[in-house]
Structure 1
Amino acid sequence: MASGSIGASTLTIASGKTFEGCGTIHTGWNSGKGAIESLNTNGVAIPYLTMTGGPYFGLRFHGVRDLTLGQIVMDLDTGLGIRFDRDAPWNYNVKMDSVHVTGAGSHAVETFNIDGLEIREVIARDVGESGLLIQMSRNVHVGLVDGDNVAKGTGYATLRFANNNGQNENGNYNTNVYVDKVVSRGGGRGVFCVSQSGGAVITTVDLANNGNNAILIENCYNLSIRGGTVNGGGEVRISARDEFPNNRDIWITLAVNGASVRESPCGQNINWSLSGNGARNIC
């Protein structure tokens, strides 16, 4: 119940355990480690957590099944909020309710290798890299991603799909990733899909004054943004790198004002439905 500091220590949560942090846990830096970790476990729950300080990772996971995170609040000086490791076993049936991260030097939430991910909301404020970065995951539903001053001066974004995110086990990109709403103000990019990701629907966006691309789609397949607004900031762009197959099966419905729209190079089956005063250079 009380608040206190664990310094650079790590709390390890074993299978079947519920960990409730009702006070504030102050943390320190331990390279490559999480302040709180649960690795290769089943049925772990963290219903409440308030964390401060500068951990390397606030929460770190891999190889978990049936993990539930509830009300997670991190007011950090540096580090990364929630991390699922890249080169590690897959994770299954991960649920997060509300994750609110302020001040992380890296990402607020970074996931890898999750089959079955449900997040109600990620709120990121003054975060150095992405608000929510989803990688190599499938069967995903996210309610809200809300970023303010996220990824400033970087190539990251309030919401970023990367590294084959949304690719199904059989290699296709049938839709399996759903995001209800993305809100982004200032910072760097708003929405970024890259490196052979896709299989995704974003129902609506509310993007304004992003310091980099409002939206960047680069080598993605079967991606739909079904509505919303872009007001000012960087361009809405469909781009491609030579090392991956070109974009295909993209549907963009947007009102774009005070920002340009560009498709270069031309993709395959790119479908635009645009309104607003933004300049357009599309195929």
Structure 2
Amino acid sequence: MTSVPNIQAGTLYVVATPIGNLADLSVRAQQVLSSVDVIACEDTRHTQRLLQHLGLRKALLSVHDHNERDRIEQVASQLSQGRNMALVSDAGTPLISDPGYPLVQALREMGHKVVPIPGPSAIITALSAAGLPTDRFLFEGFMPHKASGRRERLAPLAQETATIVFYESKHRIIETLTLMEECFGPDRLACVARELTKAFETFYHGTLGNIRTQLLADADQQKGEFVVMVAGNPEPISGSEVDTEKLFKLLLAELPPKKAAGIIAELTGENKKVLYQKALEMQGKV
């Protein structure tokens, strides 16, 4: 028989919840949720459905990106009064591309106890079945909304040797894969995981070009939530070998000269001011 966890008064429990399949909620997580006084959650409606599934009724407090800092004193006050609380996100492990960092940071600085209750996480779930190297990986989270911002994020990663992991939505998955082909090359190995732990869970393996073609062939496969994993560069080049003129042409199509120069400076170690001057010359502005 599993023992009931020792719930300590005045403690915040950071609880991982399922990313799709409700059966993935751990026994310990369920016991903590049933024992705490208040649950701080990203979306009260979403968490209420989880609690209904568990047969629980709990006081809920909304804590999301737009009000998180305003909730710090309220949560701290509850903990100071000896109440215990759980922090959950809509899915997966809180703080991992989800709200919670300012709250947890502030509570720790105040001396409150914060206890993690581990469980599902989309990034770890995806990597475990991707067939890509996992001894080193770089988690980039969600990409910027604008294509120019995504290009700016991707360009410096072209020489990264570790597996790179991104979250992406159905609205941008094709455009993001297209940009990745441009920045990393269409032959770079990758894996895209779709709808993890849900009924239509799918893994696409192969090159970036091949995966994009597969998704384009079926509009239904462009729906859902995605984890995009790109193998590291197997043959990274040194800064002196970077074709700056070719890279400038790629970046200047989407970015202003100053940002393009900054990215190339980061890749090559060259002087940013010199590169900026070159960018202006390429655009005929000097």
**TM-score (norm. length: structure 2):** 0.26
Structure with the higher fraction of residues in strand conformation: 1
Q: Which has the higher contact order (CA 8 A, sep 6+)?
A: 2
Structure with the higher fraction of residues in helix conformation: 2
- Computing the radius of gyration from Cα coordinates, the structure with the larger value is 2
**TM-score (norm. length: structure 1):** 0.26
